[in-house]
Copies of this chain bind each other. A is one copy, B any other.
Amino acid sequence: MNSLYNRRTIRKYQQREVAPELLTKLFEAAFRASTCGNMQTYSVVVTRSAAGKQRLAPAHFHQPMVTEAPVVLTFCIDLRRFSTWCKLRKADPGYNNFEWFVTGAVDTLLAAQTFCVAAEEQGLGICYLGTTTYNPEQIIEALQLPELVFPLTTITLGWPDEQPEQTDRLPLEAILHDEVYHDYSSADIDRLYAAKEALEENHRFVAENGVETLAQVYTNIRYTREAAEAMSAKLWDIMKQQGF
């Protein structure tokens, strides 16, 4: 369990390959994760070539990890393989809809996270790229993803070349609800966010961004309503375009 407690996201990697045998071992662990009906409704595109990383970079806003990591893995919801199998076996697959987009997302993320846990246990470092759902159309083009395949998350992988501080987390009581959901009072929020708001680095964030509160760093700068609404519309359109 130690690697689970001590983990931190790694964005800088040594110029050192990840051996193909090790990658294989990690994928074998990942694909033992729970999967709905044993359907394994996911695919992983493995990018190791410099040209491939360059094609992905714009979709991820040119974050340096994409071109600097030895391995980039795009985890995709994939109802295509299963549907193709059905069609070739006199069966009519009904998996081109929202329910299976969500079920496929569950499958995909359990495999992705199991991969990461296994990788970190071996001393590797990973970084999830949330940008995957911001620009899915660019990733679809770069990786030539056909209908019923959707890029959900991306992981950069390599041997760590940094040891950043561990980031904070909310106290357990902020996340856990006993038997039923207990809504948050103003006093609850004050108590649960107090440690986060007191962090030196968060005071710096607020000052650097010229805002009044840490929450405004999120709402005004990092994750604005305007951007979220534009991305929501696009995400829905691309999901439909991919046949879901």
Which residues of A does B touch, CB under 8 Å? 1, 4-5, 7, 9, 24-25, 27-29, 31-34, 36-40, 42-49, 52, 76, 80-82, 84-86, 88-95, 97-100, 102-103, 105-106, 109-110, 112-114, 116-118, 121-122, 126-128, 130, 133, 143-146, 149, 152-153, 167-170, 172, 174-181, 183-184, 186, 189-190, 192-193, 212-216, 218-220, 222-229, 231-232, 235-236
Contacts and interface: CB of A to CB of B under 8 A. Distances in A.
Given A43-B181, A172-B24, A180-B45, A98 B193 contact: no
A189 to B, nearest CB: 5
A178 to B, nearest CB: 6
Number of copies: 2
Contact of A225 (B94, B113, B167, B192): B94
B40 A170 contact: yes
A45 B38 CA distance: 26
B99 A189 contact: no
B189 A219 contact: no
A34 B166 CA distance: 11
A109 B113 contact: yes
